[in-house]
Structure 1
Amino acid sequence: MKGRRSHPGDRAGRGPGTADFKLRVRETLKAPGRLRKVFAYLKKGCIRCIIFCLVLSTAAPCLAGQPTEQIRETTDKIIAIVTDPALKPPEKAEEKKVRIREVVNERFDWREISRRTLARKWKRRTEKEKAEFVRLFGRLLERTYLAQVEGYSGEKVLYLKEALYKGGFAEVEVKIVNKQGTEIPVTYKLRKRGDKWLVYDISIEGRSLVNNYRKQFQRMSYRRLIKQLKAKVAQKT
């Protein structure tokens, strides 16, 4: 897409289109302060779509803009790891996870995701506290998406279009198509850091990953939030 527009910020979109997805969102947002419910919702729905976007790319047409190409580059690297015969044996499972984690960490800006998720709470935190939150929140998201990598069941991803905005922001729109032909729109939100375009949010059918977490996190004290994050990360997978 030619030209640059003002960045739209964190727009609140409409919820998921399928009945099951809508029900999960509704139940999650009705439970104030229940962090475990938002974890369950994202693990079952939103995160799974995100992983499919990164891992299950097809050779579908797309615009050749820099943000799109960098998303595609990450996709190709993950595909190579997931399909590598040498990493198929069970004893190679941990090595595979480490390699996937390294690739995804190169594309996701966990600090920016954390800042936007904490919102006003972020400004009141010390640098030590911020670093702790980024580590815990990043670990939680990593664990969730790594658990979904093996869940591929034939979904395809089509790259649709790209939009550039003032201030070094961009959006890349893709569409997931499952075996039944159901289409799920997904939007990557990116910010340019040096020569890299890093993901700071993903929206599934208008439902923002950052906004979903933010709504839950703002309903509890920071101390309680950190306590629950530590407990969640400490759990065995």
Structure 2
Amino acid sequence: MKKLLVLFVLFTGFIQSSIATEVTPSVSPYQVIEVAGNNLFARIASNQEALEKFPDLMRDIVEEELMPSVDYQYAAFKILGKHLQKTTPEQRVKFINAMRSYLVRTYANALTQYHNQKVVFEPETKLKDNVKSASVDVKIVDAGKPDIKITFQMRKDSRSQEWKAYDMIVEGISLISTKQSEFNRRISDLGLDQVTIELASISK
């Protein structure tokens, strides 16, 4: 499970990149993934020396390259699941912020394991104009190891018309479903406020 989580957070980065000047809202989810993946890992590769001296720089890269395009609010609400309707606006804001910090920390830690793996992006497929969600496949090729197929679940924001990722599936396991199961049990046992405090604490 630990290895699987590493794969989740490592390759989530292919979807998210703050590339507003390069990618317009009309760009397809396939193009978003390919451009974002190329930009993200080029940035990491060009900063290898600095990252060895200052590992926390990876968090800055995540903040700048990933988080502006991560639909972390939607993901947080999906993770809350049945508990969402019982929350107050203040509780939701605190949980969303804690989840965002958790993702930054987790992505940064996992991205340190990137070592120039080859990435094969799914070819462009024309989507209908009214489509609001899409699944995009990426194949990770690592010499001497089995290929890894990852499916990204993406949704189109109704206001900005931008495609963003909210979930990914590796080896048949959904990140959202896994985290939803984990957090729902703890929320039922401890309450949302306590779980939010714990989440914020481990994200520092």
- Structure-2-length-normalised TM-score: 0.78
8 Å CA contact 1:154, 1:179 repeated in 2: no
8 Å CA contact 1:161, 1:172 repeated in 2: no
Aligned residue among 191, 201, 204 for 1:234: 201
Output the CA distance in 2 between the equivalents of 1:118 and 1:70.
Answer: 27
8 Å CA contact 2:72, 2:166 repeated in 1: yes
Aligned residue among 195, 206, 216 for 2:172: 206
Deviations 1:170-223 (A, max 9, x none): 111111122214011101111111231011111112210000011122223354
How far is the alpha carbon of 1:131 from its aligned partner?
0.9
Output the CA distance in 2 between the equivalents of 1:115 and 1:100.
Answer: 21
Deviations 1:69-124 (A, max 9, x none): 11222223312321224862655544442132222112210010011111111121
Output the CA distance in 2 between the equivalents of 1:146 and 1:177.
Answer: 21
Residue type of the alignment partner of 1:125: T
8 Å CA contact 1:188, 1:203 repeated in 2: yes
* 3-state SS in 2 of match to 1:153: coil
Root-mean-square deviation (CA), in Å? 2.7
Output the CA distance in 2 between the equivalents of 1:154 and 1:90.
Answer: 16
- Answer 1 or 2: higher relative contact order, Cα 8 Å, separation at least 6: 1
Q: What are structure 1's unaligned runs of at least 5 residues?
A: 1-23, 25-40, 56-64
8 Å CA contact 1:67, 1:172 repeated in 2: yes
Residue type of the alignment partner of 1:179: A
What does residue 74 of structure 2 align with?
112
Output the CA distance in 2 between the equivalents of 1:86 and 1:160.
Answer: 28
What does residue 54 of structure 1 align with?
13
Q: What are structure 2's unaligned runs of at least 5 residues?
A: 15-26
* 3-state SS in 2 of match to 1:185: strand
What does residue 220 of structure 1 align with?
186
What does residue 121 of structure 1 align with?
83
Alignment of 1:1-237 (within 5 A): 24=1, 41=2, 44-52=3-11, 54=13, 66-85=28-47, 88=50, 90=52, 92-161=54-123, 164=127, 167-193=131-157, 194-221=160-187, 223-235=190-202
Say how many residue pairs are matched.
Answer: 187
8 Å CA contact 2:140, 2:148 repeated in 1: yes
